[in-house]
Amino acid sequence: MNLGFVGLGLMGAPMTQNLIKAGHKVRVWNRTPGKATALSGTGAIQAESPMDVAGGAEVTIVMVTDSPDVEEVVLGDKGIIEGAQPESVVIDMSSISPSVTRKIAARLQERQVNMLDAPVSGGVWGAQNASLSIMVGGQREIYDRCLPIFDALGQRSTYCGGTGMGQVAKLVNQVIVAGTLAAVAEGLAFAAKSGVDLTAVFNAVTGGAANSWQLENLGARILKRDFAPGFKVRMQAKDLRLIQEAALEMQLPLLTTPLIHQGYVAINREGLGEEGTQAYVKLLERLGGVEVSS
């Protein structure tokens, strides 16, 4: 397929490479032009603007940071909407507000351009290994048309319902992920403060009901003092903010998520925003006067 890709950060660059490996022709654009230039050696074609990316593309994919960023590259000056052809598709794989997603989709539909919201879970490692979990909202027939793209990027794509429901699914994912990781960090901090053998405890609890992906993967990284990002602290803080905004719109009280959000806000202010989300444990270490290390 003739594709466009806007946003070539830690996630977007390897996703673009996987699309090229799958045989697709991809035009790319990034706000920092050097990132697009770097991909030209892998077969990507550098474009001059999001509008230029969308021109001639059957599908244009967006992978940027937050709701305002998506609005800018899709609806702004020289945005995708100015270049997209009728009956083409825009797939927003960013994690943004469900209500903003619906607004953007309505604007695109005025130009007879289809939209899917398809945020992902799996982080940088999933993007690199084409093993992302992709949650999709929009028209079912458009989802079916775009399955070859999702198959090239992830090990599972799930149709979740109408426009915005992919973003809702991603926020559900983040409620559970952030809550679980916070519990992992607290458990390991509790173990470290008590003086128990952390490796023994880790082996014990990963074999029981407490086990989870967060414990097995990020808990293990905490013990090794490995805070390289699969998903960054500042991005987790952003997603938790989106969850609270959506919950307020629905008048749904949440008890745990707002507290965890404040923890991420605090460590982001400490200059740890570019570290992996497992750096949440550093907040507990500072509060408790302990270091979690095997």
Residues designated as active site = 170
How far apart, in whole angstroms, are the C-alpha atoms of residue 47 and residue 169? 32
For residue 239, the Cα-to-chain-centroid distance in whole angstroms is 9
Q: Position of tokens 């987790």?
A: 236
CB 53 within 8 A of CB 78: no
Between CA 132 and CA 65 the distance in angstroms is 17
| Interstrand relation of 25-29 and 2-6 (parallel, antiparallel or unpaired) | parallel
- Which positions ≥6 away from 158 have C-beta within 8 Å? 133, 134, 135, 136, 169
Three-state SS at 284: helix
Asked if 47 contacts 56 with a C-beta cutoff of 8 angstroms, the reply is no
Give residues with Cβ within 8 angstroms of 213, minimum separation 6: none
What are the beta bridge partners of residue 61? 5, 91
Which has the closest alpha carbon to 281: 199, 198, 221, 235? 221
Q: CA angle, 87 as apex, 8 and 79 as ends, to 5°?
A: 40
Backbone angle region of 223, left / alpha / beta, with phi > 0 → left and psi within -120 to 50 → alpha: alpha
**196: Cα within 13 Å, side-chain hemisphere:** 13
14: CB partners within 8 A, 6+ apart: 124, 127, 128
